[in-house]
Structures are given as C-alpha cells and as structure tokens.
A = this chain, B = another copy of it.
Amino acid sequence: MTNSPTPITPQRGPTDHDVRDQIVQAATEYFGRYGYEKTTVSDLAKAIGFSKAYIYKFFDSKQAIGEVICGNRLQMIMTTVDDAIHSVPSAPEKLRRMFRALVDAGSYLFFHDRKLYDIAATSASEAWPSLQAYENYLKTLVLQIIREGREAGDFERKTPLDEAVNAIYLVMRPYVNPLLLQHNLDHATEATGHLSSLILRSLAP
C-alpha cells in the first residue's frame, strides 16, 4: 500500500503480480474488518488509495478478488489437513483425522475470522470455482484414503468405489462446507467423532 499505482518507470515500480498481491492483501484486511457482502469496490479502492479503475485493471469484479481471498484461505485449510494426515500410517485413522482437522479449521475460521468465514460461505452459496476446487480436493482425498484402506484390507471392497466416496463425502459435507457448518457448530466435535465412527463401521470388511 506504500507504492504508487502508476509507476513512470515500470522496472522500478511494482510488477503486475505485486500489485495484484497488494490488492488481495489490502482487500483481505478490509473485508476481514468490514465484511465482503456490504463492501463495494469503490470502498475498497478508497481504503487502499487506488482508483476504482486501477483495481479493475487487475480484477474483473469484487467476486474475482473474493475468489482469490477465499482460495487462499481454503488452501491454508487444505495444507493443514495434509499436515494432519501426512505421517498417519492407517487409512481408518487418516479418515478420522481428516474429518477432525476440517471441522477444527472451519470452526476456527468461524470464531476467529468471522468476516472471512462469510466470504467462504458466500463462495459455497454461489458455487464459486474456489469452493468447487476445495470440494474436489476433499473428494479426491477421501478416494485416496478409501483406496489405501482397501489395499491394506482395512476396508470392505464390495461397494462401488465412487458410491462409497460420494456417501462419505455427503456425511462430512454439513461440517466441511462453510455454508452448512455455521448451522452445525453446536457439538460439532462430538458429532463428527460419532460420524467418523459410523463411517468406519460402514467401511468394515
């Protein structure tokens, strides 16, 4: 936010990439404080000290900025989940930890960064690409864990793989989709513990 948005000598000025980052960073702070829904690109431009037209050079719309912010947050959650299951040797335990890490990360965002949580809820309600990518990541992760468990003999192999993955994802969805999690936060930890156990019983060979 310190550099001029119209450098005379491009070599010395910020690159497009830097400006984009700068806008995203400022928007993350601004939306995080004042909320995404009620903020306009004009508000944001004023706060950053850029012209609205200049911001539109980098982002087509407010949603395009929200997309990047949301994508960054979801990426952080995905990294947390990957870390949580990385060195876990058994597929059943991986599934349990994956579910717990997702609920913990989502609840944390809700209680500590409510305004940014709301962007994620909007992304879920409007099916933004960032949320679709997140859902695909989760389904792929479930698929990998089920495959691993089947190969190790921990899980049954009769149910078609895609049906098993889809059903497990549907059980998790109310707690991992930001639009739904907010209605399911009461006793979420206990609930997801019971649901993990139910899922694992359904996978028993």
Binding site for B on A (CB under 8 A): 156, 159, 163-164, 166-168, 170-171, 173-174, 179-180, 183-184, 191, 194-195, 197-199, 201-204
Which residues of chain B are near A168, meaning CB under 8 Å? 198
Give the nearest-CB partner of A186 in chain B.
Answer: B127
How distant is the Cα of A197 from the Cα of B159 in the complex, in angstroms?
10
Task: With both chains docked as a complex, state the minimum distance between the C-beta of A40 and any C-beta of chain B, in angstroms.
Answer: 27
Assess the B183–A166 pair: CB atoms within 8 A.
no
Q: How far is A168 from B171 in the complex, measured between Cα atoms in Å?
A: 10
A171 and B184 alpha carbons, distance in the complex (Å): 12
Q: Which residue of chain B has the shortest Cβ distance to A180 in the bound complex?
A: B183
Q: How far is the CA of A184 from the CA of B194 in the complex (A)?
A: 21
Q: How far is the CA of A163 from the CA of B197 in the complex (A)?
A: 9
Please state if B195 and A159 are interface contacts (CB–CB under 8 Å): no
Complex Cα spacing A179 to B204, Å: 33
**Cα distance, A202 to B194, chains bound together (Å):** 12
How many Å lie between the Cα of A166 and that of B180 in the bound state?
A: 19
Instruction: Tell me, in angstroms, the Cα distance from A167 to B184 when the chains sit together.
Output: 14
Q: Please, how many angstroms separate the alpha-carbon atoms of A65 and B57 in the complex?
A: 54
Report if A195-B170 is in contact (Cβ < 8 Å); known contacts: A159-B201, A202-B201: yes
Q: How far is the CA of A170 from the CA of B191 in the complex (A)?
A: 7
Q: A163-B197, A168-B198, A180-B183 are in contact. List 20 more A-B contacts (CB 8 A).
A: A156-B201, A159-B197, A159-B201, A166-B194, A167-B197, A170-B191, A170-B194, A170-B195, A171-B195, A171-B198, A173-B174, A174-B180, A179-B183, A180-B180, A198-B202, A199-B202, A201-B201, A201-B202, A201-B203, A202-B202
Q: Report the Cα distance A73→B71, complex, angstroms.
A: 41
Q: Which residues of B contact A199 (CB under 8 A)?
A: 198, 202
Contact B198 A167 (CB under 8 A): yes
Taking the closest CB of chain B, its distance from the CB of A124, in whole angstroms, is 9
- Complex Cα distance A106/B58, Å? 45
